[in-house]
Structure 1
């Protein structure tokens, strides 16, 4: 029946076009009626309308609609349209009707219906609302308080899953701030967990690494980065690859679920520390910016002797301290030889002519007394001898 109606409408248009100059112009369609708008979940806006009244029964109605910015145009026979949109601003839909899919073919006037943003001070709404999928297992959302929000505001996050997105709203229970909305596609802002290194080994002079992808991801949806740090040369080598680059058939054992990398240019006779990380690629996801954290590091190669290292740490400070002591003693002795001490003239004159203490005076008096006694004794002896002679 619908096909028959379209054929009739097309036949009517052809009759009008072939009627010559006397034919009446094509009739303009009346507008749609009862256009209304509603919101489901958190951010799903639904517009519905009824067919125009008094429409030509021979017209197969089509409806064209677009938003207020004249973007996202759509022409369809359905009398409804829905869109997921963050309701932080006013959004309007304009709808018209016509008898064909050509928008310029005598369309009706447009009917518009808008939905207003949530009530409240726009400066109180949270800002920089962002959500990240962690390993496709849980979502973490962060935001900053609004400029006019109270410091003691308690925020609550609401979310709703649909087929392609997660709808998020943040507000407070007291209703003092304006709600803020955000839509997160399920294929964007995905950060995998770190991968796991299972084994490192050298073969044919090259380093091979066997690893395991994080859960919920396959190799085709990941990009890889391998980092090798050589302890002897202190060089950091980074290898970025889009997919594993060695053949599993080269190795023994069950390697199901294992990724393999061949890292050239690695010295096998030194200690090498290896770690890896991953990110999603655009083959499976919308963005490729969020790297996972680095995996736990694994080392391969010859390690330095820890006993020798500790011994050197103990001996070197002792040798340095002994050398410093010997040097100080040598410098002191050398200073005495080169610059001998000069006597203090003042001290010499002070001892000769200066004030003397009690002990010095005592000894000097004692010396004088001894001299006096000796002289008197000698004198007495001489007198006695003279007397005896005279007699």
Structure 2
């Protein structure tokens, strides 16, 4: 029958044996308590929550041992628990406050302190639900946020279904680096009601969770709040290239180059999509360079047209939004006498088109 080491005196015996070299029977079972006072705290940052706890009881008896904690957390409708192992007594994470949050934690005692096998405590659990008011239909609809050219953010939405005519919505936001939650300073309005927000220039918001809450007010009924989390680098819509150089050799070998789109996005962060049209046939290709060599599909055709657009690539974001297409530009095969002034040998034509 195994001996359960449950009380403080048993732990002292265990530590004395560690210090003076006595041998513990293999059937001695070491126990460790779970963390105390485990809780999920909402500091008011629109979904950025604190998970915090205190050391387990009798932890001083393990001063020479490594005490760690395994923390699992998720929104309540998620099938997957996220897991971390830490020596700290707190953890911060961004959650979707449209849903509940649940977490659990237990203590880990390393194998060298527990007779050769890692010891785990029982779980401590905690949950958090943002108090809800108003029916689901009163929430805003079709929230859309775009970070234009890595410079300014614009969000827009539609009112909830069937809300009273006096209903109006307000937007609040926060990201790590701000001291407090801020309200939108420049609303986009329609018929006197807020339907969007133009944000001011933001200080280094990229690669951080950007938290938004849109709530509402009405004298006739409560309005349900909506919460969103964005990573701004993943919703960037850049500008298209605005200048293209086209070089045609022998009427079928073509070199294309174009300017890097203007703005703060680094050149290494772009991917480009080029759309070609020739003799009624269209095809597309991608490149991360701002130049390309192609061979015309039909050497006898007298026209080749193309457009270019840009997007932030996978080296700088997880996703992105394609820019608008550039204006279409076409190359035409001019009569021989119009190009005879070039040097003998291979005919070399160079055209440069500014995109308008």
Normalising by the smaller structure, the TM-score range is 0.5 to 0.7
What does residue range 313-332 of structure 1 map to in structure 2 within 5 Å? none
- What is the match of residue 269 of structure 2? 221
Separation (CA, whole Å) in 2 of partners of 1:62 and 1:165: 27
Q: Which has the higher strand share?
A: 2
Out of 281, 302, 309, which is 2:313 matched to?
A: 281
Q: Cα distance, 1:187 vs. partner?
A: 3.1
**TM-score of the aligned structures, taking structure 1 as reference length:** 0.60
Cα distance change on mapping 1:53 and 1:134 into 2, 3 Å? same
Separation (CA, whole Å) in 1 of partners of 2:141 and 2:19: 55
1:242 equivalent in alignment to 2:287: yes
- What is the match of residue 99 of structure 1? 109
Q: Cα distance, 1:80 vs. partner?
A: 0.5
Q: Cα deviation per residue 1:185-227 (whole Å; 9 max; x = unaligned)?
A: 1331322211123333322432333311213334543332223
What does residue range 1-391 of structure 1 map to in structure 2 within 5 Å? 12=18, 18-20=23-25, 24-33=28-37, 35=39, 37-59=41-63, 60=65, 61-67=67-73, 71-100=81-110, 105-120=118-133, 121-147=135-161, 149-162=163-176, 164-174=208-218, 176-205=222-251, 206-215=253-262, 216-230=264-278, 233=279, 235-244=280-289, 259-265=290-296, 270-287=302-319, 290-301=321-332
Separation (CA, whole Å) in 2 of partners of 1:90 and 1:190: 29
Give ranges in structure 2 of 5+ residues lacking alignment. Answer: 1-13, 177-206, 336-356
Q: Cα distance, 1:40 vs. partner?
A: 4.3
Other structure's SS at 1:228 match: strand
Give ranges in structure 1 of 5+ residues lacking alignment. Answer: 1-7, 245-258, 305-391
CA contact (8 A) 1:32 1:95 kept: no
Structure showing greater radius of gyration is 1
Aligned residues: 277
Cα distance change on mapping 1:30 and 1:223 into 2, 3 Å? closer
Other structure's SS at 2:137 match: helix
Q: Cα deviation per residue 1:82-106 (whole Å; 9 max; x = unaligned)?
A: 1111211111222222423899844
CA contact (8 A) 2:269 2:312 kept: yes
Cα distance change on mapping 1:272 and 1:35 into 2, 3 Å? closer
**TM-score of the aligned structures, taking structure 2 as reference length:** 0.66
Other structure's SS at 2:325 match: coil
CA contact (8 A) 1:201 1:208 kept: yes
Separation (CA, whole Å) in 2 of partners of 1:180 and 1:24: 54
Other structure's SS at 1:123 match: helix
Separation (CA, whole Å) in 2 of partners of 1:9 and 1:148: 68
Over aligned residue pairs, what C-alpha RMSD do you find?
A: 3.5
